[in-house]
Structure 1
Amino acid sequence: MAAQWLACLHAGEATAAQREACAQWRRADPLHELAWQRAERLQAALGTLPPAVGLQVLDRPRSRGGRRTALRSLAALAPAVPAGYLAWRSASPETAGWTTAQRTATGERRSTVLPDGTRLHLNTASAIALDFQGGLRRVLLRQGEVQIETVPDAQQRPFVVDTRHGRIRALGTCFVVRQRDDEAGTLVAVQQSAVEVQAAQAHGQQPTRVQAGQQLRFDATGVQPAAPTDPQQAAWTRGLLFARDQPLADFAAELGRHRPGLLRCAPEVATLRISGVFRLDDTDAILAALPHTLPVRVVWRTRWWVAISARSAPPSG
């Protein structure tokens, strides 16, 4: 199922019901989540993953060998990717005109300066492509999250960010764009100046302006109302994770984006609240500190399989 869900969500037309069904499938079994994360890491490393790649391995029924065999099957996926991926990518119309790629692995963050002086900050497991050859400075956000600090262009070319849901035009600004498969639509949060947002299928409609201090979400069909932005929206650019009276399940989900493998939060502790400022450079230390402030225990089943459960409960897988 992993390959089918990946193809469905990456097609850009998945419904809310389909996204929820995918989320339920991922929660149903740790192996489902591991398969999904494996595919997402490959996508981040390669730009865009062709739907058929890994289908045989990811969708193989569980064998008599159980979990160990299945985990070995997941590890076998990587060598099979390059040839099929390159053949698919060379024929993909989506890549036409895009000249440069930037990407980060899970747990990695990277900053780069573009030829025009614009500064990009890529969050964990993110991938972009660039095209500065025509009359536009274009960034294609394939997956993940990016903060962009634009500068005036000597050639006066507009700066735009494209996602599968539409286009964002910078108006001399600093802003964050996020597009994840487990979230509906694209999120844009403006820190300085303003941007204009145009949904992909909103033909003939005027773009929506988003001012500094505002954020909104949009999909291919339209734009949602703006709301105040989170002041710590871009804390990750400083290597920090902020939590303010946050449910532990949400905190664990965000922390899990910054470390490879599977991080599970048991239902009995999911609603515990957590606050603090945490350094993303050492996620193991964050997990080790949780039992000192909350009635939980953290069990490392493997280096890449960690469970948070109630202190008095047996370990949760």
Structure 2
Amino acid sequence: MTAVDARILDEAAHWLARRHASDFSESEHAELMRWRGQSAIHEHVWQQAERLKERMSAVPAPMGMAVLGRPRRAAGRRQFLKTAALALGAPALGWLAYRRLPWQAWNAEFRTATGERRSVTLADGSRILLNTATAVSADFDGTFRRVRQHAGEILVETAHSARYADQPFIVQTGDGEMQALGTRFIVRMHEQGTTLSVLDGAVGITPARSAQRTVVQAGERAEFDSQAVRAVAALPSEADAWTHGVLYAHDMRLEDFLAELARYRPGVLQCAPDAADLRVSGSFQVNDTARVLDLLTRTLPVRTEERTRYWVRVARR
């Protein structure tokens, strides 16, 4: 099960929530059956998800599977997750729960949904812009100004308040810490590693399992993981395009472009192998991903294949 595509796990959890919702419709049932029939892996993951639901039978009704689909009350989410942690014994179920029950992100102070952007101002006046599917928490303890990033991508503009002048501003991911040195910067989390893009000032990176500090200057981008800073390179001019709702592409492989576009679109967006190496250039508004896909079909020799509104594949004509 560890080799299963994370998207299949996410889809299974979505359908698990919808299947047991009071407004689950006949058309959705048909979509679910088509999803299960896509492959043996889809059906296997679904069976594991159903077993997960059975193990959750002890959860009080108000905290049932609707919480999984529409997390609203923090207390309910926490209780549900505690119950899930006790119930999940099989490795496959544990992996499904890990992928779809991100307790840190659910309980984060600030969050955005897929396709959403949000600006927040912290106690010291610093501003954080959250990109799609992002979760962060802020902890000002009198010694440090610490922002814990659990998922997604943020742009940070640090403030220079005299009250907080002696408290370092730090952004922390699972890969390490980034200390702002009077600056404006972007942090993006990946499945493997973190990318730091410095727009103004400088930022010091200290990986989680290393004492070595690397200072990244304005106009530079660094990739790092918990072990080390892997690479420092010149920052692309369009690094902050997403803050304006724009996805910028310059001679980008279609497969890579669709992977970026998928961040702003719920469900699955795939690229067929025969279309993967087609090239895309231009500026695209991510607020309307359907329009972007339509534009691709007008400018490239591709078509879209839609099995459901949550599953779209782009292939050659």
The TM tier, using the shorter chain, reads 0.7 to 0.9
Q: Are 2:224 and 2:231, in contact at CA under 8 Å, matched by a contact in 1?
A: no
Instruction: Choose between structure 1 and 2: higher helix proportion.
Output: 2
Q: Kindly provide the amino acid, as one letter, of the partner of residue 37 in structure 2.
A: R
Q: Which has more radius of gyration?
A: 2
- Secondary structure of the 1:178 match is strand
Displacement of 1:66: 4.0
Q: Which residue of 2 aligns with 1:33?
A: 7
Q: Which residue of the other structure, out of 104, 128, 150, is the alignment partner of 1:120?
A: 128
Alpha-carbon separation, structure 2, partners of 1:100 and 1:255? 25
**Structure 2 partner of 1:219:** 225
Aligned amino acid, residue 35 of structure 1: L
* CA shift in 2, pair 1:306/1:65, >3 Å: closer
Amino acid in structure 2 at the alignment position of 1:159: F
Matched residue, 2:164: 155
Answer yes or no: is 1:110 the counterpart of 2:139. Answer: no
Identify the residue that residue 281 of structure 1 maps to in structure 2.
Answer: 287
User: Identical aligned pairs, as a percentage?
Assistant: 40
SS at match of 1:225: strand
Contact 2:246 2:283 in 1 (8 A): yes
Whether the 8 Å contact between 1:120 and 1:147 is mirrored in structure 2 is yes
Q: Tell me the equivalent position of 2:188.
A: 178
Letter in 1 for 2:8: L
Structure 2 Cα separation of the partners of residues 292 and 65 of structure 1: 28
Matched residue type, 2:164: Q
Q: Partners of 1:130 and 1:208 in 2: how far apart?
A: 24
How far residue 226 of structure 1 moved from its aligned partner, in angstroms, is 1.1
CA 163–259 in structure 1, closer or farther in 2 if over 3 Å, else same: same
Distance 1:299 1:152, change over 3 A: same
Residues 80 and 63 (structure 1 numbering): CA distance in 2 closer, same or farther, change over 3 Å? same
Change (3 A) 1:250 1:120: same
Q: 2:151: which partner in 1?
A: 143
SS for the counterpart of 1:257 is: helix
Structure 1 residues 246 and 169, CA gap change in structure 2 (3 angstroms): same
> Residue 190 of structure 1 contacts residue 210 of structure 1 at CA under 8 Å; is this kept in 2?
yes
Q: Which has the higher contact order (CA 8 A, sep 6+)?
A: 1
User: Aligned Cα RMSD in Å?
Assistant: 3.1
Paired residue type of 2:304: V
Indicate yes or no: 2:178 matched with 1:168. yes
Work out whether 1:192 is the aligned partner of 2:179: no
Q: Which amino acid aligns with 2:7?
A: E
Q: Which amino acid aligns with 1:103?
A: R
Q: TM-score, normalised by structure 2?
A: 0.72
Aligned counterpart, 1:19: none
Return the letter of the residue paired with 2:256. Answer: D
Q: Which structure 2 residues correspond to residues 1-317 of structure 1 after superposition, within 5 A?
A: 1=1, 5=2, 22=3, 25-26=4-5, 33-36=7-10, 66-67=36-37, 78-79=65-66, 81=68, 82=77, 83-86=79-82, 101-153=109-161, 154-156=163-165, 157-181=167-191, 184-203=192-211, 205=212, 207-311=213-317
Identify unmatched segments of 5+ residues in structure 2. Answer: 17-31, 54-64, 69-76, 86-102
Give the Cα–Cα distance (whole angstroms) in 1 for the partners of residues 34 and 12 of structure 2. 22
Number of aligned positions between the proteins:
254
